[in-house]
Structure 1
Amino acid sequence: MPYPQAGIIPAPSPNALFLILRVLDPPTNGRAVAKALTGVPALVEKVGAIDPRAKLLCTVGFGSSFWDTISPKKRPSGLHPFKAIEGGSLRAPSTGGDVLLHVLSKRHDLNFELAMRLRAQLGDMVEVMDEVHGFQYLDSRDLTGFIDGTENPSGAKDRTQVALIGEEDEAFAGGSYVFTQRYVHNLKKWATVPTAEQEKAIGRKKKDSTE
């Protein structure tokens, strides 16, 4: 029976850290990077032992192009590069990236400690493209003031059904896909929009997140 990475199914933690890495000279360093990342579970266990109550976890993801470097003959059927989307003045660029590290726990300092150790292990084989530190804001609201993730599956059973690759791609059953996005909000302008108009734009009530 395939098992997913430890950080995929659990509910969100109060603190998270995201690192997107570019592998330098993938033909030379690609397999060494992939091999080093097989040690992530052991390192999580070691750092997590500092405070088991923090429930430190880490998930590793590989970009589409990098996957072809480390596994040119076999790949998940749904793995492909994101294509940029443009409409009017808005643009969703395709920024790429070879490795995603998603670290989460109840303690930001442990997230940071694990990320530093992972970064040190990979050394000059990679460079950091993006680093984001996340935290739970109030009652799980984003900075627009609306509760985030209301429609996400709740409970391990529902999340397992939605998030994991199944028998349709048997060789990769238990794996998952990740699609990362960063939104830049003009919060000063947003604050001038009446609540009723904000709710129309978001599609939910601001107070209790009802549709």
Structure 2
Amino acid sequence: MSQPQKGICAEPNLHAQYLLFNVVDDDFPAMRQKLSRLLDIFEYFDEEHYEAMVSGVIGVGANFWPELYPNAMPQELSAFPDMQCEDRCAPVLPCDLFIQIRADRLDICHAIGIQVLELLRVHVELVEQVSAFRYLDGRDLTGFMVTEDNPRGMKKFDISIVGDTDPEFRGGSYIHIQRFRHDMTRWNALSLRRQEAIMGKTKEHSLPLVDTGRSSHTFRTKLTGPTGDYPSLLKQSMPYGDMLVQGLFYVSCANNSKSFREMLYSRIFGDEMGHYDRLLDYSNAETGAAFFAPSIQFIKKSATEYGDEIA
């Protein structure tokens, strides 16, 4: 049985640490073993601090995958879709590894992050680190709910985990990330009615508006998956920020990569009538990357199947 990484379908947490790395040497045998040891770190903290609800995700970048795991590649793994239309864009951040750490204790997220960095230090450079948090009752800093349309129960696994369509990578998940930066000054200057029209739902209770409009965020992101299912993405997004910079670290998990590409196209290019996601007038993506998070069994097996040894 191929067991998905725990962090893919874990329940929401209070804190998150997102780490993005590029690998700077070609000691791929050591990297394969160390990714397996990362799973041990997650498991140790989960058992030692069970009340913190620790979970982790290891994602391997689309461009780095053939070097790290040259024997096979997930069927739909491809580079992040670089899109631009007028002043709306989805920039690409070249990145080899994505590590997501989540817990209900900030100190535990920090402690795990330090151990991850220590383990990988000689092989990687840290491209970006983002600390995120749960805001109020699960809202973005814009004041609207973030992931209220996520699937529930076993439906989460159906949406986010690869099944029999790609047997070698059963239990894995396609991960796409974007770091958005909000223009909170301009956003807060809008009336409540205008904010709700842009989002396509009410602010307080997240109820859909009767006429959302084809340019609302809700309309442009409400797409079905390849088999007609909605939602087609499991989102693990959380807000981040300080007194000067605020935004959303977007993370989506899916059993395919097509759903994210179609959603991103809908937001940026919109339709032939010029309807795009108006939220992008107030929130700009500054990074973007595509990864595959293989099953626990795949990571552990790949660490030993070549007879690799760390010196």
TM-score by shorter chain over 0.5: yes
Provide Cα deviations, 1:37-62, integer angstroms capped at 9, x if missing partner: 10122212333344221121111000
- The residue aligned with 1:162 is 159
SS where residue 104 of structure 1 aligns?
A: strand
Q: RMSD of the alignment, in Å? A: 1.2
Contact 1:30/1:69 (<8 A) preserved:
yes
Provide Cα deviations, 1:82-141, integer angstroms capped at 9, x if missing partner: 121111122210112111110011111111101111110112210111111111000101
- The residue aligned with 2:31 is 33
- The residue aligned with 2:114 is 116
- The residue aligned with 2:182 is 185
Counterpart CA distance in 2 for 1:83 and 1:66 is: 16
Contact 1:23/1:30 (<8 A) preserved:
no
- The residue aligned with 2:283 is none
- The residue aligned with 2:137 is 139
SS where residue 62 of structure 1 aligns?
A: strand
TM-score, normalised relative to structure 2: 0.65
The amino acid that maps onto 2:92 is S
Counterpart CA distance in 2 for 1:49 and 1:11 is: 17
Counterpart CA distance in 2 for 1:43 and 1:17 is: 15
Map 1:17-28 to 2 at 5 A.
Answer: 17-25=17-25, 28=26
Q: Structure 1 139/23 Cα, relative in aligned 2: closer, same or farther at 3 Å?
A: same
Contact 1:48/1:110 (<8 A) preserved:
no
The amino acid that maps onto 1:2 is S
Match of 2:206 among 200, 206, 209: 209
TM-score, normalised relative to structure 1: 0.94
The amino acid that maps onto 2:201 is R
Q: Which runs of 5+ in 2 are unaligned?
A: 209-311
Contact 2:10/2:55 (<8 A) preserved:
no
Work out whether 1:92 is the aligned partner of 2:90. Answer: yes
Match of 1:43 among 22, 34, 41: 41
Work out whether 1:198 is the aligned partner of 2:173. Answer: no
Provide Cα deviations, 1:8-61, integer angstroms capped at 9, x if missing partner: 112111111110100003xx2233222101012221233334422112111100
SS where residue 5 of structure 2 aligns?
A: coil
- The residue aligned with 2:255 is none
Counterpart CA distance in 1 for 2:170 and 2:46 is: 27
Q: How many residues align?
A: 208
- The residue aligned with 2:59 is 61
